[in-house]
Structure 1
Amino acid sequence: MRRVEALLALVAYTALALWWLWPLPSLMATHSAYFSAESPLVVADFYLIVWTLAWGAHALVSAPWGLFHANAFHPSTLSLAYSEHLLGDAPLFAPVYWATGNAILATNVFILATFVLSALAMYALVRRFTGPPAALVGGFFYAFYLWRYDALAHLHMLAVQYFPLVFLLTDRWLEAARRRDGVLLAIALVLQALSSYYLAYALMLAYAPFLPLALWRWRSRLDRRRLVGLLVVFLTLTTVVVVASLPYLRLRQLGLIPSYNREGDPPPIGLVPQIAGREVWRYLTGRGVGPVGYALALVAILPPWRGRQEPWLAGVLVAMLGTLAACGPGIVIGGHEYASPYRLVLGWMPGFGTVRLPTRFVLVAQLGFALLAGLGLGRLLDGGRRWVAWPIACVTIALAIWSFTPLPTLPLHAEVTGDELPAAYRWLAAHGEGRPLLDLPGTAFHEAARRMYLSTVHWLPIVDGYSGYGPRTPGHLDWLARGLPGESALQNLVDTVDIGWVLVHRNALPSAEAARWRGPFPRGLEPAGEWGGDLLLRVTRAVVQDRRANLLNPLRTPGGVPLEPLVECPGALRLAAPPPDPWPPQAPRQVQVDVLNLGGRPWPAFGFIPRHLVHLRACIGRPDEPPCVSLPIPLPADVPPGGRVRVAATVQGPFWAGPYVLDLRLVQGEDGPLAHCGVAPLRVPIRVAGRGASPPP
């Protein structure tokens, strides 16, 4: 009977998911569907995720030992670790990709599957404690809500189907200690943790209140088998996550993955309490379970409580903890900011400081609210006639959908697939010989992400790349290639990095630059094919002065300066010209800063391994307030002993008029300010005034 119920629920959720995502199911092989396509960042994130899933599926069957050495950001190694690896999503994505080679089709099947399986998993959890009609409603609220509808571009956040299974299997293991439940619990935990680091942290937050309550519930049955079994499961999870995290730890050690709780760094916009709080409020009031879900959740938590077996208290705690975590480091109430438990988690959870968007933890809150909604309806239906329960469940779902209206139409975006893929890339798939590819001209980050998607045709190493923590090498190599097809530029390029192919998109170049690519070409740059505006050239130029090992050397800069902390660094900062007087309000202005090295050792400053690199920080603050914070400004060269390097720093003017200080200081990676070894900060008084300026509050 339970299997028939589950099959009917599967059919119902599949039909609902097809309707929810329509018209995408009718064009799954050729279109994508997500909101905010006018935002380059959203488009870039979508292509990054599609590429990541496709690379994982490709590498697992071609070269699993090189999984993290993905084809983007050549010549970087461990380039998959510049973003999420998404390995836990492979079971839903990879089979379709292996069968068709169509990453867009595999992505859309993955999206559809996450809706169906998430609902079915919550159905199974709620069904353990109440009847199937209420379980059907609980599954609906877990998978179908507006925040999730809006998140289709960030499809890795949809893969929450294992959360309810972890709760269910934990409860079943503690009840009966069956080996099958223990094995399935380990698999569910591992797959969920490997689906995304955000989801791994969310899983910890959700499991933290549930596990103690489950242990208390089954306290009379706790024995050595149950406790040792849980320990083995957790050790398995920890081992797998640690092994999968080693590449990230290496990049973190090199400074390529930052932590956002460092002193002196401005927080990402997602960690600003006012912004995070506004997004959480938006979720609670209009993007979550809605009024129908809240009403049912309220029924679930009403007294009497004594003797109740269902995990209503776990639902309450999970919903509360998820809401608090989504607010980030501070909770803003009535214009006042209060400390959040989030700060405590920052102190003890490894890697948690890299989280930029805590609002994604509303997924945890939704888990709690959906569980409560199912339990609440089950409580209302308890003792009633069975034939009435199913119509009530259907009406409840219909009312919930009505409360979500107007449901915005899902926009579709045509993608190039199959024979529509660029002919040059398809030719390289057959003849590329594994040699690295440089696309010209360099492009904006969202187009670089699209090139990553297009590289799934041939899987050659590519210079381009997009990621939240990407290295600066693509911009540098594009700068070196701007002199092509000149002979000296070609020689400089091949001496710096291994390149096998150059693909010139002449239609993307100004006419004068495109004319340079009509030939003749220097020795070592040979035309291999031409398709419309795309010109492909084979690079056979011999290396003369081999600098290729220096580009990403973790021990020294490309200029040969050792990457190590500076113990003594006598020096100074000077302005090459006075700052604007007055400084226009809210206006960016460029200041020229001279960095003087008065000692006898060079300072490491120019390179692509951030650890120990000296950089400038420049911002404007009040004279009587602590130093302002700013993002690091890279120096264009190592600072030679007894020499200087000039840096162009763009600084944003304040909103309010009045007296300020232009604060300039040098910082060496995570070693700290150079004030400790000899370079004092430069604080220059300035005056902000002019048309549009507002007086200070």
Structure 2
Amino acid sequence: MARLLLNHLRWGPGTQFWCAGGCFLLLAVFHTWPLATGTVSPTHDDVWLNAWAVAWIAHQIPRNPLQLFDANMFFPHQGALVYTEPLIIPGLMAAPVLWLGGSPLLAHMVLVLLGYTLTALGMYVLVRKWTGDFRAGLLSGALFAFCTELLMRTAHVQALHIYWLPLAFLAFQRLMERRRPRDAAWLGLCVIGASLTSGYLVVFVCFALGAAALARVTAFREPGGARLLLQLGVAATGTAAILLAVLWPYVQAGHERPPVTEAADLAMALGSYLASGAVFHQGWSADYAQSSPRTLFPGVVMLVLATVAACQRRRVAPFGARRMLLATAALGLLLSLGSFTPVYTWAYELVPPLRGLRAVSRFGILPLFALATLAGIGLSGLRWPASPPRRSLVAIALLLLATGESFHGWGSDPWRDTAGRIHRFLATSSWPGAVLELPIYQRRFGFHRNARYLLASTAHWRPLVNGFGGYAPSDFDDNAHVASGFPSVLTVKWLQEIGVGYVLIDLDHYGNRMRRKLNELDKRRDLALEAVDGATRLYRVLPHTPRVIEALAPVPNLSQLRFAGGPAEGSMLRAAHGLRQAFGFQSPRRFIAYLESTRADAQLVLRFPAPMSGWFFDAATGEALQQVTVRASAATDPPASLYPPAGRADLLLDLRPQASEP
């Protein structure tokens, strides 16, 4: 590599570009080793989520691109892709790997290497165009793409594909200088590309461009400034129109979060800029890395050269470039501190997309981008009496020093495929319906564990009740609660109604009680054991109505009722004591609950707007056991208590307003 770099002065720009790309690919392989061997894969829930997302895009684009957002999770909801990052650009990049038979994890591995390489190339192009210096571009690309923040986020492939940021800066600078419609169009394309890659990234790009525009505000008062504003306005309008057309489902979803601060105090938030995951920094930075929300330490090489650039009088980059970069760094720093500064609070109120971000500390990537660019400018601006080969040797030494400083160590996680024989069987089965995988995890308890089910679903692509992402449907926890009641007759009735055809349960996550319950299913006609693979069982959901459900005349449509359980506002079932499990469904004129393993002290705490009456039924036989009446209780009254029959394995409670009792 050193010999090639020493000969760069004899190459044209195209050869230099490909040489830089080769160097960056080698650095990506080095920093992520042994990922490129295909024998390891990070066992991280976000890896499985993103591998599933890019596989879905590659699966759906050639089949039904108009239904791209109807991803196969969070069934029965449609448009489920809006609950995670779009990843459309990375998905298109990975599509050939998947179309040729590669696995989603292999596609993710390719995207990791491409992300680092292309991000470094984007920085190289920016600094090379600005300074005309191959060596400066090479160093800036390596400093930014392999900074500690990005090397710590290998699982988040969308965070690695950040090349749109330097390319947008290049297009903006050219527009400011040349004022050509072509440059405005390129700027719009960069923003569109960022939007189709990551929701975070497009916000970063837009804020960075806003800071750059403020730094160059005097340009709009110069002759031709009105034309420049018009070009920017046309580019912004066209970009917004295209994005609204393509990403309208995200706009409809309207994801919002309250203003957030990830650190306990301002000192901890600022500590992120001293936190590093690099081996070289562990001696002094480990405490910051453990207590801070992010690892944003730029590194000594980046800091020294960026300082040189800030202090240089000799102009190497285009006019205003340093001001734009310093403004971007300052804005990114302030926003990364969250609500500890008024800047974030003001921006939160004024810029709606900012309300959808969960981790505002990720704005720290903007100071790193600015410093890495300034470092290249600083290197290019250095002048000392030495021959070009010796200057190249210095650049190589700095590149090697930066590589050593940013080295994070090598992982060794074994390759893990979450799809088993049963998942592959589902791809060939003609029995229709969605799939429920158990255990299912609610947002409050291990939500991330649903990610392995998403990756496994790429073997069959059936709709999946499970799901995972930055957001979830508002009723997901309720659905997960009901699904966790499997194999109760009420749960199976609900599964039949929403269109679930198979239930796949991993008994390694359950105790002997669940095994005993499943072994007794031979008496049931609404479920059939389809396949067994070790501790995993596959049950087919059959269109049969158990006797106890028929006893609930008229038979309710559970999918049209609201979930009842726990202290949630409006729930008629406020609490349950002395039993293993209780959940139900409700409407103003119907309340149905499932109760499991009632003890002598079993008690239901209920709140009804009107008096209700009905029966307890044995869930296995349908036998009516006990007639009950429950008083009404207003919001200011204490709730009513109901005591179910003790010593029963499974009960159903069916209540209706007294006035409608036959």
Normalising by the smaller structure, the TM-score range is 0.7 to 0.9
Q: Please give the residue correspondences for 1:644-683 in structure 2 after superposition, counting only pairs within 5 Å.
A: 645=639
Correspondence 1:15 to 2:15: no
CA distance, structure 2, for counterparts of residue 15 and residue 308 of structure 1 = 28
CA distance, structure 2, for counterparts of residue 81 and residue 97 of structure 1 = 22
CA distance, structure 2, for counterparts of residue 271 and residue 15 of structure 1 = 39
- Residue 46 of structure 1 is matched in structure 2 by 47
Q: Please give the residue correspondences for 1:158-177 in structure 2 after superposition, counting only pairs within 5 Å.
A: 158-176=160-178
CA distance, structure 2, for counterparts of residue 363 and residue 62 of structure 1 = 37
CA distance, structure 2, for counterparts of residue 232 and residue 112 of structure 1 = 36
- Residue 375 of structure 2 is matched in structure 1 by 373
- Residue 538 of structure 2 is matched in structure 1 by 536
- Residue 83 of structure 1 is matched in structure 2 by 84
List alignment gaps of at least 5 residues for structure 1. 38-42, 262-266, 331-338, 563-591, 603-637, 648-697
List alignment gaps of at least 5 residues for structure 2. 1-11, 286-295, 546-554, 564-569, 572-584, 590-602, 613-631, 642-662
Moved more, 107-116 or 86-95: 86-95
Q: Deviations over 1:606-639 (max 9, x none)?
A: xxxxxxxxxxxxxxxxxxxxxxxxxxxxxxxx98
CA distance 1:492–1:329, change in 2 (3 Å): closer
Q: Deviations over 1:389-413 (max 9, x none)?
A: 2111111112223434xx3323232
Q: Deviations over 1:67-107 (max 9, x none)?
A: 22221111223322222222243343333233334111111
Q: Please give the residue correspondences for 1:89-488 in structure 2 after superposition, counting only pairs within 5 Å.
A: 89-130=90-131, 131-176=133-178, 181-213=183-215, 222=224, 227-252=229-254, 257-261=255-259, 267=260, 269-270=262-263, 273-282=266-275, 287-304=296-313, 309-310=318-319, 311-330=321-340, 339-381=341-383, 385-404=387-406, 407-417=407-417, 421-431=419-429, 435-443=433-441, 444-471=446-473, 473=475, 475-481=477-483, 484-485=486-487, 487=489
CA distance 1:482–1:175, change in 2 (3 Å): closer
Q: Matched residue of 1:526: which SS?
A: strand
Correspondence 1:5 to 2:16: yes
CA distance, structure 2, for counterparts of residue 535 and residue 475 of structure 1 = 24
CA distance, structure 2, for counterparts of residue 127 and residue 382 of structure 1 = 20
Instruction: Report deviation, 1:241.
Output: 3.3
Q: Matched residue of 1:369: which SS?
A: helix
CA distance, structure 1, for counterparts of residue 164 and residue 462 of structure 2 = 34
- Residue 560 of structure 1 is matched in structure 2 by 587
Paired residue type of 1:469: Y
Paired residue type of 2:587: G
* Contact 2:94/2:110, CA 8 A, preserved across alignment: yes
CA distance, structure 1, for counterparts of residue 160 and residue 265 of structure 2 = 24
CA distance, structure 2, for counterparts of residue 273 and residue 245 of structure 1 = 35
CA distance, structure 1, for counterparts of residue 187 and residue 491 of structure 2 = 57
CA distance 1:403–1:534, change in 2 (3 Å): closer
Choose 1 or 2 for highest CA Rg. Answer: 2
Q: Deviations over 1:367-419 (max 9, x none)?
A: 10011000000000488642222111111112223434xx33232323444xx
Q: Deviations over 1:528-585 (max 9, x none)?
A: 3333333222222257532324459xxx9963359xxxxxxxxxxxxxxxxxxxxxxx
* Contact 1:125/1:165, CA 8 A, preserved across alignment: yes
Aligned residues: 548
Paired residue type of 1:31: V
**Percent of aligned pairs with the same amino acid:** 25
Paired residue type of 1:463: V
* Contact 1:260/1:355, CA 8 A, preserved across alignment: no
* Contact 1:594/1:644, CA 8 A, preserved across alignment: no
CA distance 1:359–1:485, change in 2 (3 Å): closer
Paired residue type of 2:126: L
CA distance, structure 2, for counterparts of residue 644 and residue 214 of structure 1 = 65
Moved more, 300-309 or 116-125: 300-309
Q: Please give the residue correspondences for 1:573-592 in structure 2 after superposition, counting only pairs within 5 Å.
A: none
* Contact 1:601/1:640, CA 8 A, preserved across alignment: no
Moved more, 51-60 or 471-480: 471-480
Q: Matched residue of 1:17: which SS?
A: helix
Paired residue type of 2:414: A
Q: Matched residue of 1:535: which SS?
A: strand
Q: Matched residue of 1:520: which SS?
A: helix
- Residue 567 of structure 1 is matched in structure 2 by none
CA distance, structure 2, for counterparts of residue 383 and residue 345 of structure 1 = 48
Coordinate RMSD, CA, aligned: 3.6
CA distance 1:216–1:11, change in 2 (3 Å): farther
Moved more, 320-329 or 204-213: 204-213
Q: Matched residue of 1:32: which SS?
A: coil
CA distance 1:304–1:100, change in 2 (3 Å): same
- Residue 26 of structure 1 is matched in structure 2 by 37
- Residue 635 of structure 1 is matched in structure 2 by none
Paired residue type of 1:414: P
- Residue 610 of structure 1 is matched in structure 2 by none
CA distance, structure 1, for counterparts of residue 633 and residue 86 of structure 2 = 37
CA distance, structure 2, for counterparts of residue 472 and residue 230 of structure 1 = 39
CA distance 1:412–1:236, change in 2 (3 Å): farther
Moved more, 101-110 or 78-87: 78-87
* Contact 2:53/2:91, CA 8 A, preserved across alignment: no
Paired residue type of 1:279: S
Instruction: Report deviation, 1:505.
Output: 2.4
* Contact 2:115/2:157, CA 8 A, preserved across alignment: no
Instruction: Report deviation, 1:111.
Output: 0.8
Paired residue type of 1:319: A
Q: Matched residue of 1:329: which SS?
A: helix
Instruction: Report deviation, 1:359.
Output: 1.4
Instruction: Report deviation, 1:163.
Output: 0.8
* Contact 1:280/1:326, CA 8 A, preserved across alignment: no
- Residue 626 of structure 2 is matched in structure 1 by none
Paired residue type of 1:4: T
CA distance, structure 2, for counterparts of residue 317 and residue 16 of structure 1 = 30
CA distance, structure 2, for counterparts of residue 465 and residue 110 of structure 1 = 23
Paired residue type of 2:207: L
